Structure 1
């Protein structure tokens, strides 16, 4: 047997198998079984028809195998897809068809079932080229596939059809009907009962008509149960009534098509429930409106499909809408419904900006069609959000009845604290396309507008120059950022300009620096000298009106009188809370009053920090004033008390210790006034001039200035241990030493007066011819015995104790400062101990704190021996 005979036998076997699978042989056998009494002639005719069909199919297959269908081209999927894209671009300049083809080609490329992808694309391209050569009547040419070598096949099919029609003398439909047994058909319809009206009359296995399934699917697409297809009560999925006979392939198509009804029902339930409950905010209602708007196109498709079904049912014998065509026609709507279903699931419990942010996340999808759909949805969903945003940045009004905006306010906050705490950002409502830096700008814009309207009384500028004719909508993020930046710059510059010009912010800061931080030296000197005697009294004996009069006198006596009257009237006296045993020095304080809108920067907390700094500087000035008074007394009394030889070494040691204290106080003052205050003030002015873009940055610059002043000025820059109590104890030791020194000088002056009175008495006696001094009189050239043994040692011992305590506390302070991480504090340690007198003595084991005691213990015997 040659190869041609083998091919013929193989084709014959293949045709018979295919015909059996298609039900041809079974139909013939069923016809024979259903008509047992029809006669031998009918049986012979049926077998003859069956053999004729097999022979025709066999010839057809052989003709296909003998033809050359494959073109002589290289199988390149990318090349053929590029050719199709170029053709679509030529046909449609909008490139919508090309984008659609790219989307479909991507899906085709990922499909692993199909292996001849190039052949499919080439066939479709060939069909499109052939369809362009159609006749004027809109029908294709007689030989549409002649270029593929299929013209002979077409001719054979036509001839065979004509031959079959000539033989039967009836139409193909009538011929098929003649093969069915009327009695058997009637019996099957009666067996099915009421469901028989859905049966396919052309089918021998009692399958449901496709048109009936199509009509049921139209109802299912609208979320309504059909006759054969119904929604489940619990799961919500669709199922086909098992009493109807439907093939597996048809059932699979129906199951795929019912997904549209399930998705529609889910989306519609969400929309109706949300709108009925009324729990959704403006953005949520807009989301439901966007879903309903997208469902309008879906309803339009259902109307078109229903019209096709009705039209096809009126035309007998016409092959119109089928399940497969319905599946193809509904793919676009299915994709949209799937996307809307995903959005419904993700945004079920979200509101406002969180909902907009969730939908916006889907714009990052790689599919351009999905991006376009989400973008179109967002234009409707975000409309209320952008209305709120527009009102906020152009009018300063927060119109958010359902708390959907990412900016909220606290109605319990007072107007004085409006800028800092009234408005804030809710991160959970912040959309993803608005970052935190941009959100802070938006917050600043609205706060600035409210500030200008309520604090600065500048409504005219808002009406004339801000936000006229501007509208915001979802779209270009760069354009949105540009609009926000323009509004941010305009409002911030206007607000800063008013604060610096109309409300004199810099002048107020300068006044606080001069008076509260004690920069105005002549004013502080006059005030200290005027208040010194009164402040030395108990605190409960002070009266505010007396202190206010002294303050006004100090202003008139210094260059402060030439300052602005508005600045001077804000300067006032303040008495702190009085505790038992406090003196006037402990409760006296200067105060500076500020009002709106300057109190937004100079808040009560900031003024408390300034007053805290003033109290320390005022105490330091008091110590300086006390040491200046002690030095002045030492200088003026040196010649007078020189005759008291017993106290000369001790008084000299007092001058040395007093000089050490003056050096410490002056260096500490220099560090605070110049290294801290002046440097921080210079940084503040530079920040205001160069780095201040809005009121928030101005507040931050002032807060940094105040933080530097208080932390460095109070010696608490970078260490964990608070040195302020130690420093206050050191200053208190200096004051105690000054009091002990005054007691010693008072005793010395009293001793001088005693000697002068005794000398005058001796001189008067001598002039009267009597002895100048008697045994009962005290000695004229030395301290009396009882005082030298009791009073003088106690005075010297007190001085030595305070001197030792000062040096011990100063040494501990220097050790802490030298080990600190802040360079300014280490530099202060160097200034206080530039020759390492204190630290060097401690390292060598001869601490200077014992020197005073050693001097006193050695000198006392020498004084006694020399005086006796």
Structure 2
């Protein structure tokens, strides 16, 4: 029965009056000699507190009928003259004066109850309860008793006819049966005893507090002072069960039977809930075929709304159990993959095993509860355990439900993932602020990473990858041969890299295992790695350190130590016995033309061969010439082992190529050096070709064009008057080209190659690992490639430089024709003068007219040819000058200040600047940016402007 509809101070005082009224009523039942009225009061208050709507929606009488019957009952009791009736009246109505009847006093009290704003239904239930209790006690004191079956029959007949007279020996039984059948227990708090009506028979030694009229106590709690204390004391009643009272009063058997029925129903619901916890259907809960969730069985019609709601709420735990269990079934297609996935599945199964253990404890408690009820129904001295109810299970299920929900959420995120991707997914839950989520994610992550630790240990200590499912973040390419072991055989698989392993740490792990493989397979060094035992112990004891976001843990330090130890061993081997630095020095000297005397002698010795068509060359002929060049220069003092790696290579010729176009020097590396330097050798070949061509142009200008000019100047002095104009132009263009080539050689061979080599040597001295040397070497080659205008951003420079080279080649061809013409004319003139002198000696005077005419004709042809060659030379010079001006403009507009300075040196006297207005305009940053865009995107427009 609930009295919470009003609230306020008046409501709370009414609750106190009602409690006092019930106390007096129970005392009146017992009479002056009775001592068990507190037991009756405890049962009444407990029943009202636990079952506020016990009488349901169908009360046996309406308010007017109840008032009429109670009035008749009081009048009859007052008129009977029985002593106990006076006691009842006093207990019910208090001390009254003789001037007012008991019925009138009761009606006054009822009016006061109406004025308390109590709901009509609750007031009607209270009146019904008071009437039944008074009438039953009255009947019992008069010794009016009958058997249970008769009472039940009469009670049913009485309910079917509300106007019928109430049997005096049956009312209390009828009321109890009606209330128990209609009761709808409310959910209890965890602090409240949920034993239900069975606590009626608890031992007297078990003392506990039951809230009387729970809402009255709650409202009274907001008051202070004496009122709060009074209300609190009135709302908490000491409880001690009294089975003897129930038996003595003649109510024990039937009441216990009803309680047993209710307990059986409760036990059945609890059993169904326990079944549902493990995904098993029961009497009340069935599975939905589509969603997999539990729903109430349509045949279960004896459940009230509260019970149905609690069953559905508890069945949610079974749904999440089934969901988690599905992620552990390999046939479902939802579980994680690979060895690390099996670790995750194993962790989920362990969690389910713990969950089954808790469910088994519930089942054991329920079995004990049923056993106790069967064997100790009327044994009042037995201490019974608290009953297992739906409310208790609901309180118990909070933590397991939350844990299963988290497991289901994590498992759903991890489905069909493997390896590092799986570990990264679970590691993401460590960032959750909930400690329970972090703890659970850490447990799962440790289980997942078990196979990862094994693969990591094997890789770091033995250089082997045991990864049948492709989960490790280090990948081995089996199709790659040992000659590419260091660069291409092993790599980091980014898709399998856990997010708690940084890229720097992954690189160290990669290099460590790769170094061990390199030492064992290439260098045949199979000594064990230093720090092997420390790493194993660290992984066993501090496995969770790898999850740290800061690489300052003991595990990270151990990995760093092994990385440094293995790298140092590799470095010592390649720098010592295998002479890595000496070989790099040799490639710089021979392939990058650093050995100047050797290159000069080689070109001079090969000139006759290389001037031939490409198809007429043979590599063995060129090799012998190269060996002769080595013996003729300082190269002969180099280590023979180094020289044995040097050879001549003839590339595949194209149509029209000559020997200069297809010749290349080759440096062959073997053993461990081949593994390390193999990718770089093709870059050396790319660099050798433009450097060789530049050196060839320098050789053409100095050893061919300029040398021919110096040697032919004296023989051609007789023709100086005719040749001075052409020779002046020839000498001018030659000087320009020599200056350009010398500056180009100085820039590339010294400022680019030599300076980069000095940086490489410094980095090699401070290197801690082989990769440091190789990275420095790659940077060295990249710098040279950029400085030689071979990178993607130097296309215009390379094109202009090639145009300059073409002008030099054209000048060489033109000079050959020119000197051929000059010497032919010179010889013809000498022959003509010789014929004149011989004719004079014979007494003839001069030569015939025909020969003179022929000589004049030849002289005229010579003048015409010379004029044509002069124009041709002017065209060659013009094209060359345009190419140089474009080259200078590209240098000046480049963002690299070194190239800008190089352009200044090329035009040191501002000769080209005066002849090209574009070179005279100051280039701001905006101009430089626009110039780059101009040259990169508008080559055709540039050509039209130059022409």
Q: Select the residue among 285, 289, 292 that pairs with 1:236.
A: 292
Please state if 1:528 is matched with 2:603.
Answer: yes
CA distance in 2, matches of 1:236, 1:330: 20
Q: Is the 8 A contact 2:591 2:666 kept in 1?
A: yes
Which region of structure 1 is more displaced relative to structure 2, 586-595 or 471-480? 471-480
1:7 to 1:487, Cα distance in 2 relative to 1, 3 A:
closer
Please state if 1:22 is matched with 2:52.
Answer: yes
CA distance in 2, matches of 1:772, 1:710: 68
1:492 to 1:765, Cα distance in 2 relative to 1, 3 A:
same
Please state if 1:679 is matched with 2:735.
Answer: no
Note the 1:641-652 alignment, pairs <5 A. 641-644=716-719, 645-652=721-728
Q: Is the 8 A contact 1:208 1:244 kept in 2?
A: no
Aligned to 1:815: 889
Please state if 1:622 is matched with 2:691.
Answer: no
Q: Select the residue among 575, 598, 612 that pairs with 1:500.
A: 575
Note the 1:102-121 alignment, pairs <5 A. none
| Alpha-carbon displacement from aligned partner over 1:283-317 (angstroms, at most 9, x marks no partner) | 12211211222223222222322222222223335
1:273 to 1:658, Cα distance in 2 relative to 1, 3 A:
closer
| Alpha-carbon displacement from aligned partner over 1:426-477 (angstroms, at most 9, x marks no partner) | 3332222123332232223222222222222222244896876445254123
Please state if 1:655 is matched with 2:731.
Answer: yes
| Structure 2 spans left out of the alignment, 5+ residues | 1-7, 23-43, 78-83, 95-108, 110-188, 193-204, 210-225, 378-383, 921-947
Q: Select the residue among 733, 736, 745 that pairs with 1:669.
A: 745
Aligned to 1:288: 345
Aligned to 1:309: 366
How far the C-alpha of 1:544 sits from its partner, in A, is 1.4
Aligned to 1:322: 388
Aligned length: 732
Note the 1:36-435 alignment, pairs <5 A. 170-172=244-246, 177-178=251-252, 180=254, 200-201=259-260, 209-241=265-297, 242-273=299-330, 280-315=337-372, 316=376, 318=384, 320-323=386-389, 324-435=391-502
Q: Is the 8 A contact 2:571 2:770 kept in 1?
A: yes
Q: Is the 8 A contact 1:626 1:738 kept in 2?
A: yes
CA distance in 1, matches of 2:86, 2:363: 43
TM-score between the two structures when normalised by the length of structure 1 = 0.74
Q: Is the 8 A contact 1:28 1:46 kept in 2?
A: no
| Alpha-carbon displacement from aligned partner over 1:740-778 (angstroms, at most 9, x marks no partner) | 223333343444445555556666666676657776766
**Larger Rg, first or second structure (1 or 2):** 2
CA distance in 2, matches of 1:348, 1:785: 97
How far the C-alpha of 1:30 sits from its partner, in A, is 6.2
Q: Is the 8 A contact 2:803 2:880 kept in 1?
A: no
CA distance in 2, matches of 1:504, 1:522: 24
CA distance in 1, matches of 2:846, 2:859: 20
Classify the secondary structure of the residue corresponding to 2:415: coil
Aligned to 2:140: none
How far the C-alpha of 1:520 sits from its partner, in A, is 0.6
Classify the secondary structure of the residue corresponding to 2:458: helix
1:46 to 1:669, Cα distance in 2 relative to 1, 3 A:
farther
How far the C-alpha of 1:651 sits from its partner, in A, is 2.3
Classify the secondary structure of the residue corresponding to 1:602: helix
Classify the secondary structure of the residue corresponding to 1:550: helix
Please state if 1:570 is matched with 2:645.
Answer: yes
CA distance in 2, matches of 1:287, 1:494: 38
Note the 1:748-767 alignment, pairs <5 A. 748-756=822-830
1:279 to 1:313, Cα distance in 2 relative to 1, 3 A:
closer
How far the C-alpha of 1:557 sits from its partner, in A, is 0.4
Q: Is the 8 A contact 1:228 1:244 kept in 2?
A: no
CA distance in 2, matches of 1:481, 1:830: 53
Aligned to 2:593: 518
| Structure 1 spans left out of the alignment, 5+ residues | 59-119, 125-137, 186-198, 847-868
Please state if 1:825 is matched with 2:882.
Answer: no
Classify the secondary structure of the residue corresponding to 1:411: coil
How far the C-alpha of 1:556 sits from its partner, in A, is 0.5
Q: Is the 8 A contact 1:260 1:334 kept in 2?
A: yes
Classify the secondary structure of the residue corresponding to 2:329: helix
1:225 to 1:515, Cα distance in 2 relative to 1, 3 A:
same
| Alpha-carbon displacement from aligned partner over 1:24-65 (angstroms, at most 9, x marks no partner) | 6679976999xx9xx999x9899999996999xx9xxxxxxx
Please state if 1:558 is matched with 2:633.
Answer: yes
